[in-house]
Structure formats: C-alpha cells, structure tokens
C-alpha cells in the first residue's frame, strides 16, 4: 500500500480507464467484454484504485466499472468531471450522473483541469461543496501547477484536497522539480497518469535490460521504479486482462538501490524537457 497523511493508504498502482468504453466524447460498446474482464481481473488482484471520468466514452467507462465491480465493496474510485461552469447546480448534476453510472459514491472527485475564466480557488470551493453534500468522500486537483496547488491549500475553508493527478513518467519528469516535493511535504497523494507513455516504455531496451536481472518486463521495471517514490501512485490503463496481470506483477518485489539509481540517471534529462 502507498500512504499519504491526508489521503490514507491506497494500492501502490491504480488502474486507468481512458480509452475504455470509448474515447473523449465518443461512446464505443464494441469491446465491453474485454474491458470488464480486464477491470475485474485487476480488482481480483488487489488493484482496487481506479481512475475514470464522465468524459470517457460519454460516461460509459464509469458504467463498465459498475459492471466489473459487482459484489466488490472495497473499491476506491476517482472520477473527474468537466462542467461548463462551476455553478453548484451544474457540478451537482454532473457528479450525481457519475454516481449513478458507477453505482457507488466516488472515493474522490476532481475537475479535469481549471476551467478557462476561473481561479483554482473557484475549483476548490465547488469541490468542497460537492463533498460536503455527500457526492464524494474526498476531492483532488488535476493538471495543476505547484503554484496552483499552493494557492488551493490557502483558500480551503472546510476541507483540503487529498491528491494531485498530473501527467508523469520516466520521459516526463517535470513535476519532480516542484509538484511532487510539494505533495510529499503536504501529505498529498500524487497520481501519475500516462506512466508508460502510451506503451513507449514497454519497448525501452534499457528498462528491458534491467528487467532481465529480475525476470521482469520493461513495463514492470518502470512501474516498480515509480512505486519506490514516496506518495507517488502510477495510474495505468487496464487495456486487457493479460496486461493487468503484468501490471500486478510490478509490485511485491523491489529494484535494488543501484538499479533504481541507474534508471534515474538514464532518464534524468526528462526532468527538464517538456512536450
């Protein structure tokens, strides 16, 4: 388990659902069986932290989580919304829709990003209100800078965010300069999406060479590298049951300190590159 003082303890790796049940704005039912099978297998293996959104497949990803989690009570669901405004009624309506599709109250809610024309404190106010109304257990912040997180922590009134979710991978390490240290100091979870760079790291020869020492794949080496970082939890797409099984085998063992540092050095330049 990975623990942070404000969020408590969660599985070391979370399952992602972007591209499951469709893409942004577009529903696709053609692979529902495979999606449910992959999610269910992950939940059975203890990967009971899952990230989703009302936008993924027009909410169909949330519906598939409901099906896959039938009979499972202990599941931490993070969902994100994309309201056209931060009016309480709009936020309430969207979160209520997510709750109905999921068949359960989300553990955490976020906005995908800070809407144009709004300040981070407006986001905090809207999400605080939603949690106070019982629409979620907690709230977090997504696609935010360190300065936005710092501001958010000063404008909370009833409760604080418990997590940050940003893009993070060995090839996208910008947040190591400020956002991740801030999360660690404040006791926030840091959820990193796209940790495998849409499969690119699965083909990385350097990671594969490290993996041969442990009889592990490049994917498993990369994920194990993230797990070692305090407060950081990678969110990995549950693309198939076999992939989920590979993901689950990324934990329960540990890279040596020497190998962890070799990987850190190999990808260190990506702390300073953005794309």
Kindly state the percentage of the chain with pLDDT values over 70: 99
pLDDT number for residue 268? 96
Mean pLDDT value of segment 165-175: 97
For 221-265, how does the pLDDT look when each residue is reduced to its tens digit (9 = 90+)? 999 999 999 999 999 999 999 999 999 999 999 999 999 999 999
pTM: 0.96
pLDDT band per the 50, 70, 90 thresholds, residue 157: confident
Task: Provide the mean pLDDT of the chain.
Answer: 95
pLDDT number for residue 25? 75
For 95-148, how does the pLDDT look when each residue is reduced to its tens digit (9 = 90+)? 999 999 999 999 999 999 999 899 999 999 999 999 999 999 999 999 999 999
pLDDT band per the 50, 70, 90 thresholds, residue 154: very high
Map out the domains of the chain with their CATH numbers: 10-271 (3.20.20.100)
- Cα 270 to chain centroid distance, Å, stands at 20
Residue written as token pair 């993996």: 211
pLDDT number for residue 274? 62
Mean pLDDT value of segment 140-161: 95
């Amino acid at each position: 388990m990975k623990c942070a003082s404000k969020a408590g303890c969660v599985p070391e790796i979370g399952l992602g659902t972007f591209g499951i049940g469709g893409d942004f704005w577009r529903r696709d039912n053609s692979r529902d069986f495979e999606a449910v099978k992959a999610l269910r297998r992950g939940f059975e293996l203890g990967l009971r932290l899952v990230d989703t959104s009302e936008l993924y497949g027009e909410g169909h990803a949330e519906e598939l989580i409901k099906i896959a989690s039938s009979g499972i009570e202990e599941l931490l669901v993070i969902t994100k919304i994309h309201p056209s405004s931060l009016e309480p009624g709009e936020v309430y309506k969207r979160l209520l829709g997510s709750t109905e599709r999921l068949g359960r109250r989300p553990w955490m809610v976020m906005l995908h990003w800070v809407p144009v024309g709004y300040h981070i404190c407006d986001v905090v106010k809207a999400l605080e209100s939603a949690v106070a109304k019982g629409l979620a257990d907690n709230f977090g912040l997504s696609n935010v800078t360190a300065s936005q997180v710092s501001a958010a922590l000063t404008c909370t009134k009833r409760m604080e965010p418990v997590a940050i979710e940003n893009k993070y991978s060995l090839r996208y390490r910008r947040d190591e300069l400020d956002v991740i240290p801030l999360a660690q100091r404040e006791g926030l979870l840091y959820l990193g999406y796209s940790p495998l760079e849409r499969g690119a790291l699965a083909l990385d020869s350097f990671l594969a060479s490290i993996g041969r020492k442990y009889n592990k794949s490049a994917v498993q080496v990369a994920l194990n590298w993230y797990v070692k970082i305090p407060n950081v939890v990678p969110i990995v797409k549950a693309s198939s049951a076999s992939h989920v099984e590979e993901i689950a085998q990324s934990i329960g063992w540990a890279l040596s300190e020497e190998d962890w540092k070799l990987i850190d050095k190999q990808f260190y330049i990506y702390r300073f590159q953005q794309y």
